[in-house]
Amino acid sequence: MQLVKKHLPIAIAFIMGVLMFLQFYIPSKTSNDFLESVTQWDRIISAFALLLGIYSLLNYHYHKLRKRVEGWGFSVVIYVGFFAMLLSGLIGGIINPPPEPVLNSAGAIIGQVEVYRPFMWMYDFLFVPMQATMFSILAFYIASAAYRAFRARNKEATVLLITAIIVMLGRVPLGAFLISYKPFGGEVELLPWFTEWILNNPSMAAQRGIMIGIGLGVISTSLRIIFGIERTYMGGGGD
């Protein structure tokens, strides 16, 4: 069991990691063919990961339902929603037919009407509005959270607060409308210019630092996986 559960995955990770690393630096046809083949395999495996995700979701909510844990009603909604979309897609298809023309009494086309498959009807009139609503609610919570938590408690928080106010005003037309001062004797308005300056200089410097940190982290984690030091990707299950 050690061979299958431990040694084989480490060997595959090492061989594929080294090959993919070398492939990037070898511009030949063989190298490109190898990349194409690996990419196709990866995409097929990714599709199976979707199935695994579906199994995991349904399994998790099955246990919530069986044990009647608090909020089990939402698990019913998950099951109903999942199977309603799945079955309507499998039975009726997921693409609407072409719109049907609307004719007047003389037989001339005066418009067209969309013919909905059940799947697309649920997508357009249930799924889209519900997701959009979830995202819209953020505006309300952000306003409430800003009122409660955005306080100038110390020097750092004060700098953050002032910067946020400048960027918030500078990123909407109202800011330029209220403060329409144009320095440097030109066309450039102060507030949008200053907002862009903040984004292009201090903000970008911080972002670049974060990106370099993430990059170094990715390199070190990849090396740890390739050399078998990092094994959490193999999951638990014991040796």
Q: How far apart are CA 224 and CA 232, in angstroms?
A: 11
Nearer Cβ to other proteins (13/120): 120
Decide if residue 122 touches other proteins (CB under 8 A): no
Nearer Cβ to other proteins (169/225): 169
Read off the amino acid at residue 103: L
Nearer Cβ to other proteins (13/169): 169
Residue 229 has phi, psi (to 5 degrees) of -80, -40
Binding window for other proteins (CB under 8 A); candidates: 57-65, 100-108, 158-166, 225-233: 158-166
How far apart are CB 183 and other proteins at their closest, in Å? 14
Cβ neighbours, 10 Å, residue 13: 19
Residue of 58, 89, 171, 222 interacting with other proteins (CB under 8 A): 171
**23 burial via Cβ count (<10 Å: 0-12, 13-18, 19+):** middle
Nearer Cβ to other proteins (9/192): 192
Decide if residue 139 touches other proteins (CB under 8 A): yes
Residue in this structure with the two tokens 């490109």, named with its chain if needed = 32
Q: Which residues are at the interface with other proteins (CB under 8 A)?
A: 32, 35-36, 39-40, 42-43, 46-47, 50, 95, 120, 123-124, 127-129, 131-132, 134-136, 139-140, 142-144, 146-148, 150-152, 161, 164-165, 168-169, 171-177, 189, 192, 196, 199-200, 203-204, 207-208, 211
